[in-house]
Amino acid sequence: MNSFAPLQNDTFLRALRREPTDYTPIWLMRQAGRYLPEYRATRAQAGSFMQLAQNPDLATEVTLQPIDRYGLDAAILFSDILTVPDAMGLGLRFVENEGPKFDRPLQDEVAVHRLEVPDMAKLQYVFDAVTQIRQSLNGRVPLIGFAGSPYTIACYMVEGGSSSEFRTIKTMMYTRPDLLHHILSVNAQATALYLNAQIDAGAQAVMIFDTWGGSLSHSAYKEFSLAYMRQVIGALKRNVDGESVPVIVFTKGGGQWLEAMSEIGADALGLDWTTNLAEAKKRVAGKVALQGNIDPSILFGSEALIRQTARLVLDEYGADAGHVFNLGHGISQFVQPDAVKYLVDEVHAYSRQIRGAK
């Protein structure tokens, strides 16, 4: 097994475990990305997004860039949720300005029945990146591993790319639910293996991104998204060498399902900006920690607005244990890098102040 340097800043892990911290830890979804000039330089060197993700040296470099620049409290593996369907043989390509595309989407019964849990050896480049990032972090902050939710990756697998109305997958859901359940069951098994291999490789917490669960009806969410996330979580390694490995679940647009989400075995729930943090905290009643939830577009505002809104979010949660500060969704490529500095500084300074005043 791997042996890694001891952790120097465990604030993020403590917050996920709902233990007291000196301040509120912060990291940002998509923190390694195109808004950073140093990311754009490394990506140009790699040639493409997938070549960057598949090269552990370069993936390590871009993972550490935002940590070096801002002093964030957690690093997140540089990769993508679509590596799993790629390993299933669907043929992933990223088309400039159009996003991800699959050459062989699952649009008929034959294709669906051919789908199998992939050999994890095909994803070895991800696990190598995890180990190398963890070594390079040298204990500075914890490393988050991640995967897409079974339903969210199914959206891309069935639609063949990004979609706004999800006509193909919803037609399958309402005409051949058996086919969709088959895909989701394979995805859930693959996702559990994938996250466990990331944990073995050195990930200290894992996050499930359910970006599209919020497009479902109330009952469909529970049947097609939540139930499969529960299966994944139930199969995860939750303890490594006496340290717990916390699990974060984020359904974008999932604010109305927090009570149900808090029952599936996750340690923390991610919230988008449409939910009030104080109310969410009451609703989950101390069962889980909360992560979020400033509107990512605040980063287009002035320094004063960014600082003021960060304080509002921190005041909503209050000084109790169990809050990880984050955006309500990924950072935009059009954000000016200094905006992130104002946010991180304000969260660190003001949250220390709230705790001091307690």
| Residue 146 in the binding site for ligand CP3 (CB under 6 A) | yes
> Does residue 76 bind ligand CP3 (CB under 6 A)?
yes
What does the alpha-carbon distance between residue 290 and residue 117 come to, in Å, rounded to a whole number? 31
Q: Mark whether 156 is an active-site residue.
A: yes
105 binds ligand CP3 (CB under 6 A): no
Residue from 15, 16, 26, 32 binding ligand CP3 (CB under 6 A): 32
Q: Does 47 bind ligand CP3 (CB under 6 A)?
A: no
Applying CB under 6 A, does 86 fall inside the site for ligand CP3?
Answer: no
Is position 69 an interface residue for ligand CP3 (rule: CB under 6 A)? Answer: no
148 versus 350: smaller Cβ distance to ligand CP3 = 148
Contact between 211 and ligand CP3 per CB under 6 A: yes
Using the rule CB under 6 A, is 34 a contact of ligand CP3?
A: yes
- Single out the catalytic residue among 17, 30, 283, 355: 30
Active site annotation includes 80: yes
Q: Which of 4, 49, 166, 300 binds ligand CP3 (CB under 6 A)?
A: 49
337 binds ligand CP3 per the rule CB under 6 A: no
- Span of 79-87, 214-222, 226-234, 257-265 interacting with ligand CP3 by CB under 6 A: 79-87
Is 355 marked active-site? no
Residue span binding ligand CP3 (CB under 6 A) among the ranges 10-18, 92-100, 188-196, 318-326: 92-100
The number of residues that bind ligand CP3 (CB under 6 A) is: 21
Q: Which of 12, 35, 70, 209 binds ligand CP3 (CB under 6 A)?
A: 209
By CB under 6 A, residue 325 contacts ligand CP3:
no
| Contacting ligand CP3 within 218-277 (CB under 6 A) | none
User: Counting Cβ atoms within 10 Å, is residue 303 exposed (0-12), middle (13-18) or buried (19+)?
Assistant: middle
SS (H, E, C) the chain: CCCCCCCCCCHHHHHHCCCCCCCCCECCCCCCCCCCHHHHHHHHHHCCHHHHHCCHHHHHHHHHHHHHHHCCCCEECCCCCCHHHHHHHHCEEEECCCEEEECCCCCCHHHHHHCCCCCHHHHHHHHHHHHHHHHHHCCCCCEEEEEECHHHHHHHHHHCECCCCCHHHHHHHHHCHHHHHHHHHHHHHHHHHHHHHHHHHCCCEEEEEECCHHHCCHHHHHHHHHHHHHHHHHCCCCEECCEECCEEEEECCCHHHHHHHCCCCCCEEECCCCCCHHHHHHHHCCCCEEEEEECHHHHHCCHHHHHHHHHHHHHHHCCCCCEEEEECCCCCCCCCHHHHHHHHHHHHHHHHHHHHCC
The single residue of 14, 18, 43, 140 carrying the catalytic annotation is 43
Mark 147-186 with x for binding to ligand CP3 (rule: CB under 6 A) and - for no binding. ---------------x------------------------
User: What is the number of the residue whose Cβ is closest to ligand CP3?
Assistant: 211
Burial profile 140-150: b = 16 or more Cβ within 10 angstroms, e = fewer:
bbbbbbbbbbb
Which residues are known catalytic residues?
30, 34, 43, 80, 156
Question: Which positions touch ligand CP3 (CB under 6 A)?
Answer: 29-34, 43, 49, 76, 78, 80-82, 94, 99-100, 146, 162, 209, 211, 330
